[in-house]
Copies of this chain bind each other. A is one copy, B any other.
Amino acid sequence: MIGSIEVCCFRLQQGQLQLLISQRKTEPFINQYALIGGGIAPQQDQHLDDTVNRCLQQKTQLQPHYLEQVSSQADPHRDPRGWSVCFLYLAVFRPQQKVHANCKWVNVYDLLNSPVKLAFDHKALVETALNRLLNKSQYSSLPVYFLGASFTLPELQQCFESILQTQLPKAAFRRRLNRPEIMLETGEKDHSQNRPAKLYAMAAPKQLYFFDQLMKGSPTKALT
C-alpha cells in the first residue's frame, strides 16, 4: 500500500487566494505541477502531522500558520503505481513568504478554470480543500490565520471578503469578530493610512472560534 500526504497550501496576496504548487522531478507525472506532499515514512514520522511538517520543510521551507486534515482518499486508480491512500491537508500561510525555486504561488481560481492538469487527482483534491476553506470561513474565525501577526479591522474584513468573495456589512462584521475570545488590541496603531487604525492580534493563536450563525452575505454552499 502506497501512503502519502498532500497539502493544499493557501495564502492571500493582494486580495487573491493563492495556492502553492511545485513541479515534479520524478516519474510518474514528471515535470507536471502537483500539490506539496510526500510519502509517509513510518521510521521518521510518529504522526501524520510529522509527515506534513517534514514535507513542507523539505519542499517549501515554510511553516504553516494553520493546519487541518480535510479527508482521506484511497483507491487503486489515483496512482499509476498501485492501490494508494492519500491524506489531504489544508494549510494556511501568511502573505509574502519565500519558497523554494521549484514552487510557485498561483491564483487558485485561475488554476481550477485553466486546462492545466495537475499530477494524479490533485485538481480534485484542490476542489475538496477549497470547499472546506470556503465553508469554514463562513462559520469560524479561520480567515484570521491568513493575516500577519497584527492587523487592523479593515484588513480583517477585506480578508474575509476576499475569501468569501462577497461584501460584508461593516457594523455586523465588527460585532461578530471584535470580541476578546477572537482578537485583542495590541496597543499599537497602523500609521500607513491617513487615519491611524488600531492594530489587533489573535487572542488564542491555536484555536478557532466558531460562530453560531453563518457569515451574512456569504455563498450558500453546504457546509462540509
CA distance A214 to B76 in the complex (A): 39
Q: Which residue of B lies closest to A216 (CB)?
A: B212
Is A87 interfacial (CB-CB < 8 Å)?
yes
What is the minimal beta-carbon distance from A166 to any residue of chain B, in angstroms? 14
Of the stretches A41-49, A57-65, A189-197, the one at the interface is: A41-49
Asked whether A1 and B40 contact (CB < 8 A) given A139-B223, A210-B222, A222-B210, the answer is yes
Is A71 interfacial (CB-CB < 8 Å)?
yes
Is A69 interfacial (CB-CB < 8 Å)?
yes
Q: Which residues of chain B are within 8 angstroms of A223 by Cβ–Cβ distance?
A: 139-140, 210
- Contacts A1-B42, A46-B77, A74-B87 aside, 7 further interface pairs with beta carbons under 8 A come to A1-B1, A3-B3, A42-B76, A46-B76, A48-B72, A208-B222, A210-B222
